[in-house]
Amino acid sequence: MSFSFGFSGDDIVAEDEEEVNRPSQRATALANLPALATARSHDVEELLATFPSKISYSFFDIESNRGKRLRLPRRELFDIRLQIMAEDGDDATAAAGLDDSDIRTNVYEGGFKSWECSFDLAKLLLDRGPRKDLDDLCRVDHVVELGCGTAIPSLVLFHYAMTEKLPLYFTLADYNASVLRLVTLPNLILTWASTLAAHDAPFSASDPNPLSGPEENGDLEITPELKKAFLSALSSQGLNLNLISGSWTPSAAFLSLIPTDPEMNILVLASETIYSPEALSSFAGALIGILQRVRMGKGMIAAKRMYFGVGGSVDAFKIECRERKAVAYEIDNHNIDLGEKSGVRRSLVEVQMY
């Protein structure tokens, strides 16, 4: 099955909505899906070795309703397309992200694009920051983003950690390894580079940092020196990156790849991960599996209230959490526009264990 995300009112629309909504035909369609990709971790240096000689980017602004503003870069979608085509289509799942379907179940989960709800969550995080994501006394040790894609919410906290010299562990998980390689990690490097002054190493007076200027878009040269400087910055600040691809089901296999400790304070982020009953159940299993392993943990999820034609909803997610002995509740939106006037209402939800 493939889905196309729309924002005109129907939100996610199945290719054949009537067929997908018939239980017997839906079961048949699910039975014919490709096998789930096995969860696995990826070495950051190995992914860096696959980078092109330069990355095209553009800046976008995140502005909270409390007046905070953050300017962040992200890789251009056309640049991702160019790299995929230059690689002669060796990565079938990456090529799937170039067609008209936003999601192809068990093949591609929409990670090349930035979805509306991820910006809602980013605005909330911009106001609160990792020092207040659990409570005013506990700082987050580990940030996990499930279904990260372009990782917009995590970029807010990664930028904060870089500028405040704050040690943090980041786990970024996306179904597709190609998404981690082509957009997630490039966006992290762009965010790091944006925190550097024009002449800070690895840049110089003769080769200044293009992200330090006022231009809205540009190209970042990916040199061996830049890769080395990025890895050195992570190490010197105590920042760890853990990149995971594959399915969250079975949850035990996925959870074994996420470092946890009973004394750890953990924050789990996600956007648009509950669009169907199957996705909702898989996500809830992974989320709650993480929260059960730590002393203090919280999930912060941004989603549409209802995904018409596919079956996911915030109310169904609340029920799923309750059945798994967790509580999910909609939180104060801090006056963030959640689409009340557009017909496609969105929500910000927190999840904690009983």
Residue 8's pLDDT is what? Answer: 38
DSSP string, 100-113: S-SEETTTB-STTS
Indicate if the pLDDT at residue 344 is higher than 50. yes
All structural domains of the chain with their residue ranges:
38-87+111-353
Indicate if the pLDDT at residue 338 is higher than 90. no
Indicate if the pLDDT at residue 5 is higher than 60. no
Average pLDDT over residues 123-139: 66
E strands in the chain: 2-5, 12-14, 40-42, 54-63, 69-75, 103-104, 142-146, 169-174, 217-221, 240-245, 265-271, 296-304, 326-330, 346-353
Residue 95's pLDDT is what? Answer: 63
Average pLDDT over residues 262-287: 94
Residue 264's pLDDT is what? Answer: 86
Average pLDDT over residues 8-32: 47
Average pLDDT over residues 305-314: 91
Residue 108's pLDDT is what? Answer: 78
Residue 11's pLDDT is what? Answer: 38
Predicted TM-score (pTM) of this structure = 0.88
Distance from chain centroid for Cα 239? 18
- What is the residue whose two structure tokens read 């299993």? 285
Residue 29's pLDDT is what? Answer: 53
6 pLDDT tier (thresholds 50, 70, 90): very low
Query: Rounded CA gap, 104 and 291, in Å?
Result: 29
96 pLDDT tier (thresholds 50, 70, 90): low
Q: Which one has a higher pLDDT value, 54 or 137?
A: 54
Mean pLDDT of the chain: 86
Indicate if the pLDDT at residue 110 is higher than 50. yes
What is the percent of the chain with per-residue pLDDT over 70, rounded to a whole number?
81
Residue 263's pLDDT is what? Answer: 84
Q: For strands 169-174 and 12-14, give the pairing.
A: unpaired
Residue 261's pLDDT is what? Answer: 86
Pick from 307, 287, 282, 258: which is nearest to 350 by CA?
287
CATH code of 38-87+111-353, in short, is 3.40.50.150
Burial classification of residue 215, based on how many CB atoms lie within 10 Å of its CB (0-12 exposed, 13-18 middle, 19 or more buried): exposed
Two tokens at 155? 């970029």
Residue 19's pLDDT is what? Answer: 43
**pLDDT tens digits for range 202-256:** 999 999 999 999 999 999 999 999 999 999 999 999 999 999 999 999 899 999 9
Average pLDDT over residues 78-95: 79
151 pLDDT tier (thresholds 50, 70, 90): very high
